[in-house]
A and B are shown apart, each in its own frame.
Chain A
Amino acid sequence: MILYNVPSRTAVDMKPATVGRLSQLAGIVAVKEAVTEPERVRDLREACGADFVILSGDDATARHSIFSGARGVISVTANVVPRAMSAMVAAALKGDRAQAERIDAALATLHSHLFLETNPIPVKWALARMGLTAGGIRLPLTPLSATHQPALLAALHAAGALPE
Chain B
Amino acid sequence: MFSGSLVAIATPMRPDGAVDFDAWASLVDLHLANGTSGIVVGGTTGESATLLDSELRELTQRACERVGRRIAVIVGAGTSSTATTVERVRWLSELPVDGLLVGTPRASR
CA gap between A137 and B107 in the complex, in Å: 23
Bound-complex Cα distance A29 to B10 (A): 24
Indicate if the CB atoms of A86 and B4 lie closer than 8 Å: yes
Question: Which residues, 3 to 41 on A, are CB-close (under 8 Å) to B?
Answer: 3-6, 9-12, 14, 29-30, 32
The listed residue with most A CB atoms (<10 A of its CB), out of B3, B23, B109, is: B3
How many chain B residues touch A (Cβ–Cβ < 8 Å)? 48
Do A78 and B36 touch across chains, with their CB atoms under 8 A apart?
Answer: yes
Total interface residues on A, using CB and 8 Å? 47
Query: What would 13 A/B residue contacts be, using CB atoms closer than 8 Å?
Result: A3-B103, A10-B106, A73-B5, A76-B8, A78-B6, A82-B35, A82-B36, A86-B36, A86-B37, A89-B5, A136-B12, A136-B14, A141-B47
Contact of A4 among B5, B30, B34, B104 (CB under 8 A): B104
Q: Once the chains bind, are B10 and A124 in contact (CB under 8 Å)?
A: yes
CB contact under 8 A between A72 and B37, given known A11-B107, A127-B10, A133-B23: yes
The answer to whether B104 touches A132 (Cβ under 8 A) is: no
- Known contacts: A2-B100, A11-B107. The answer to whether A119 contacts B44 by CB under 8 A is yes
Query: Which A residues fall within an 8 A CB radius of B?
Result: 1-6, 9-12, 14, 29-30, 32, 53, 55, 71-76, 78-79, 82-83, 85-90, 93, 119-120, 123-124, 127, 132-139, 141
List the 4 shortest-distance A-B pairs measured between CB atoms, nearest first.
A136-B13, A86-B35, A4-B103, A82-B34
A86-B34, A119-B45 known; A79-B9 Cβ under 8 A: yes
Contact of A53 among B2, B20, B37, B40 (CB under 8 A): B2
| CB within 8 Å for A89 and B10 given contacts A119-B45, A133-B23 | no
Asked if B95 lies at the interface with its beta carbon under 8 angstroms from chain A, I say no
A85 and B34 alpha carbons, distance in the complex (Å): 9
- Residues of the A chain whose Cβ atoms lie less than 8 Å from the Cβ of B45: 76, 79, 119-120, 123
Residue in B5, B34, B50 whose CB lies within 8 Å of A138: B50
- Let me know if A138 and B17 touch, CB within 8 A: yes
In contact, A132 and B36 (Cβ under 8 angstroms):
no
